[in-house]
Amino acid sequence: MAKLKAGTRLQSAVCSTEVMIVKAPEEADLTCGGAPLLPLGKDKSGADPADGADGGTQIGKRYVDADETLELLCTKPGKGSLAVGGAAMSIKGAKPLPSSD
**Proportion of the chain above pLDDT 90, given as a percent:** 63
**Proportion of the chain above pLDDT 70, given as a percent:** 97
- Give the length of the chain: 101
Top-confidence residue, 95 or 18: 18
pLDDT band of residue 23 (cuts 50, 70, 90) is very high
Q: How many helices (H) and strands (E) does the chain have?
A: 0, 12
Select from 26, 6, 14, 22 the least CA-distant residue to 54: 14
Q: What is the pTM assigned to this prediction?
A: 0.87
- pLDDT tens, 39-88? 988 887 778 888 888 899 999 999 999 999 999 999 999 999 999 999 99
**pLDDT at residue number 46:** 75
Cβ neighbourhood burial of 23 (10 Å; 0-12, 13-18, 19+): middle
